[in-house]
Amino acid sequence: MALASAVGDDLFDAYAGVLARYRRDDSETQAWLALAYARRGYEVGDYDVRPEIEYASRALAGDEPGGLWVLSLAYPLAYLENAVKAGEAFGVDPLLLLALAREESRFDPRAVSGAGAVGLTQKMPATAAMLAAELELEVYDLRDPGDSLLLGAAYLEKMLERFDGNLALALAGYNAGPGNARHWIASFDTLPPDVWLLLKPFDETRRYIVRVVGSYYRYRQLYGVPDGAPDGGG
């Protein structure tokens, strides 16, 4: 029986709060907190993976980051079935969709940004309405994980096609809009994408690209995608 089942959610949260404050920078403590939250979530049917991602990420940043089990908590296969379905529909790697959702919302289907973007893949309502019309999707809910991943995959596929499969540029378009991405390309002309990324003026978008690509690399590393497999597209 997991700790949460034995003592109840309120007491578990209180215990976890004390443990979180105790030796806050200790990697082992953070790793066990991540595992405790993961087990609590699985047992009570709560798929909020934000605590386990947070604590596992802290553990990975410490002096003794732990093994693959800590990595798997930091990069969970949340909503995998929905990601596979959306990826197959639009030729986008499901692991890329998971990396995107991890960085956009930490897999919180109810997430709403300050700008008004909603759901796992953080789509603006107007953009979602445009995509839904193109897909002839009459009924959808941005807070529904399946709908959010489907619309996110549709938009990412558009960006990959628009930027000739270049993942960095596609993510720039996803985050800041294709118009901004085209403007940056024109500004830096023929520079290769890695150099372009270093010189790009919008720090927020640059950090976003690095985070998503980094998460994508971790997902591929963890879940058995062989070296040399295609990036981004299915």
The pLDDT, as a whole number, for residue 6 is 42
114/60: higher pLDDT: 114
- Which residues are registered as beta bridge partners of 233? 92
Q: What is the pLDDT of residues 97-144, one digit of tens each?
A: 999 999 999 999 999 999 999 999 999 999 999 999 999 999 999 999
CATH number of 80-222: 1.10.530.10
Output the CA torsion sign for 212, 215, 217, 220: negative
Q: What is the dihedral of CA 166, 172, 174, 175, to 10 degrees?
A: 160
How many helices and strands, by DSSP H and E, does the chain display?
13, 0
> What's the burial of 52, exposed, middle or buried (CB within 10 Å: 0-12/13-18/19+)?
buried
**Is position 136 annotated as part of the catalytic site?**
no
Q: What is the pLDDT of residues 18-34, one digit of tens each?
A: 555 555 556 666 666 66
- Which of 52, 54, 103, 104 is catalytic? The answer is 104
Q: How far is CA 145 from CA 108, 125, 164, in A?
A: 9, 15, 28
**Residue limits of CATH 1.10.530.10 in the chain:** 80-222
For residue 159, is pLDDT > 60? yes
